[in-house]
Amino acid sequence: MKIKNHRLYRDDDSPYPYQRSPNGGGTIDTRYLVIHFTAGGSAEQSVTWLSNPLAQASAHLVIGRDGKITQLMPFNQKAWHAGSSSWNGLTSLNSHSIGIELDNAGLLKKSQGKWKSWFGRTYPDDEVLVARHRYRLEESGWHTYTPEQLEVALEVSALLVRKYDLRDVLGHDDISPFRKVDPGPAFPMSSFRSRVMGRVEDEPDIYETITALNIRQGPGITYPSIENSPLPAKTRLEILDTNQIWKFVDVLDPVNKVSGLQGWLHGNFIRLKEEAHANG
């Protein structure tokens, strides 16, 4: 797929279905991609509703459970998908993001032994994930996404991130915490985000130690240092995992002629290494 004049096309130059929504318009300063679920019964119903002035809502794309994409707004114009929202010092994310709606019934409740959506449809157990949303105390049912839908979402998201130089992929629940729960626990946000962003920039961030620094077997000072600890200042690192302020790192430089060290160190004593544009 490709983007021409802020519209989505297939590789053979045929356009994806396009139905301009009246709910939006005006230019945006695009920084983020925001993922939603429709909480609806079908992609067609959601496209119809998001094209209705009464909805006062829209999105740039709706992706069906079969992976069918419909575009409702050019990517350089504002769609009303985020509502009251904030992220990283920005507010009203409609003015700063592209919104993708995934056809999904959303939160499901058990009633007489069956999982039911808010609009009364029942769902088989194999389409339901039982999980607790991070803003909720109780577990509930969440309609799962289909592999076809996630694959298409991944492809179009990577394209949008590359084309519009987007900084991150966010959930509606990230930018409107407590008010919104979509795309919810059934959406694999962490792997989706890393795959989308990873396709864009394959180079991991490189860090370096600020000072000579102990490297340990676990995330805390009670864990013993590993052999060849401490690392000298300016040792280059890649962060593989995080436990609060402790970072599990891959040591990129040999230490005492030993390569491939891995272990935990305190995150206050490392910094992002400035990119070196010239070698030597």
User: Where on the chain is the footprint of Zn ion (CB under 5 A)?
Assistant: 36, 172, 182
Minimum distance of Zn ion from residue 89's CB (angstroms) = 21
**What is the residue whose two structure tokens read 């000579």?**
212
Minimum distance of Zn ion from residue 84's CB (angstroms) = 12
The backbone torsions φ and ψ at residue 130, rounded to the nearest 5 degrees and listed phi first, read -95, 115
Complex with Zn ion: residue 60 or 172, whichever CB lies closer: 172
Minimum distance of Zn ion from residue 93's CB (angstroms) = 11
Distance of CA 85 to the CA centre of its chain: 16
Complex with Zn ion: residue 172 or 216, whichever CB lies closer: 172
In residues, how long is the chain? 280
d(CA 87, CA 90): 5
d(CA 231, CA 253): 10
- The DSSP symbol for 194 reads H
Minimum distance of Zn ion from residue 131's CB (angstroms) = 18
**In terms of DSSP bridges, do strands 32-37 and 97-102 run parallel, antiparallel, or are they unpaired?**
parallel
Complex with Zn ion: residue 175 or 213, whichever CB lies closer: 175
Complex with Zn ion: residue 74 or 99, whichever CB lies closer: 99
Complex with Zn ion: residue 38 or 209, whichever CB lies closer: 38
**What is the residue whose two structure tokens read 């593989």?**
240
d(CA 169, CA 270): 26
Minimum distance of Zn ion from residue 187's CB (angstroms) = 11
